[in-house]
Amino acid sequence: MDSALTSVGLPVALAVVMFGLGLSLTAADFARVAREPRAVAVALATQLVLLPAACFGLVLAVDLDPVLAVGMMLLAASPGGTTANLFRGDVALNITLTAVNSVIASVTLPLIVNFALDHFEPATEGALGLEFGKVAQVFALVLVPVVLGMLVRRWSAAFADRADRPVRIVSVVVLVVVIAGTIISELENTAAYLAAVGLVSVLFCAFSLAAGYLLPRLAKVGRRQAVASAFEVGVHNSTLAITVAISVLGSERLAVPAAVYAVVMFPLAAAAGFLLTRNRAPLD
């Protein structure tokens, strides 16, 4: 991949995406963790514990290439994407989950990825390892823009509201560019990667959406909150996963699963949204 996209484009892309999240956040959103502890706890447990375990079992079951297997585990360890709140549900809860999950993932992501690296031992040109110091740099690009966005909202809620839509549009454009750049960089292997990772990505996304909805419902969480959980769990921050893979680990192949997942997750999430809200009855 072009060095400019790696060294500048990816960090800027991630910062823009997370700044957009910050524009919609207030300090009161974090208090929702105490007001709705069951909904938050079930969603976070599904995201942080169940998904990595399910992804690990899935890549073992299909005997995925070690590098791509680590890439899938990196994706599974990434927090929910900011685009998750585009879908119908408790948007406020969704935003809270994304923010809290992004903070927690700064610790859990290195643990999960290093476990995957040790287990699968991918054959690469150099040794791979995810040091906490390097991850801290990436998550500074996650958390600092969020804080700046929150400060902008505190300074002027009206300005934040006006800027929210343009920033979201830019975020989507940036995401498309990042995905396209990742795929183009490995263009000669794209067909093989799609064959290897495509089905795994679809199965993992479908499982994530289903678990994100059904487990909260089993825990007697309201339907509207369960819908928010489904999209928080099923829609990952692919930009973060691609940035860690390329900018931190220095491997474009590791970024391929996140790029493929980003392509398949939106139609699957849209289909899930239609199924969950097709009767158009008010969500409780």
DSSP annotation of 82 reads G
Dist CA 238 CA 84 (whole Å): 12
Among candidate residues 21, 38, 268, 61, the one with its CA nearest the CA of residue 144: 21
- Phi and psi at residue 131, in whole multiples of 5°? -80, 145
Is the per-residue pLDDT at 48 higher than 80? Answer: yes
Q: Provide the 8-state DSSP code for 59.
A: H
What is the mean predicted confidence (pLDDT) over 13-25? 74
- Residue 236 gets which letter from DSSP? B
Given a contact cutoff of 8 angstroms between Cβ atoms, the answer to whether 80 and 262 are in contact is: no
**pLDDT value at 2 more than 50:** no
Q: What is the pLDDT of residues 226-248, one digit of tens each?
A: 888 888 888 888 888 888 888 77
Q: Is a pLDDT exceeding 60 seen at residue 189?
A: yes
- How far, in Å, are 18, 193, 204 from residue 42 at the CA level? 24, 33, 19
Euclidean distance between CA atoms 101 and 44, whole angstroms: 7
Per-residue pLDDT, 82 = 61
Distance between CA atoms of residues 220 and 32, nearest Å: 17
CA quadruple 209, 214, 215, 219: dihedral sign: positive
Residue 26 has pLDDT above 80, yes or no: no
Say which CATH architecture domain 3-277 belongs to: Up-down Bundle (1.20)
pLDDT mean over 68-85: 82
Helix, strand, coil tally for the chain in percent (to 5): 85, 0, 15
Lowest mean pLDDT among 31-35, 105-109, 228-232: 31-35
DSSP 129: -
Average pLDDT over residues 93-97: 79
Residue type for 31, please? A
Calpha distance 215→220 (Å, rounded): 9
Q: Which residue has the tokens 């998750």?
A: 84
Give the separation between CA 116 and CA 74, rounded to whole angstroms: 8
The answer to whether 81 and 118 have CB atoms below 8 angstroms apart is no
For the chain, give the mean pLDDT.
79
Q: Are 95 and 69 in contact (CB under 8 A)?
A: no
Q: What is the DSSP letter of 279?
A: T
pLDDT value of residue 184: 67
Counting residues of the chain whose pLDDT is more than 90, the rounded percentage is 20
Separation CA 147–CA 153 (nearest Å): 10
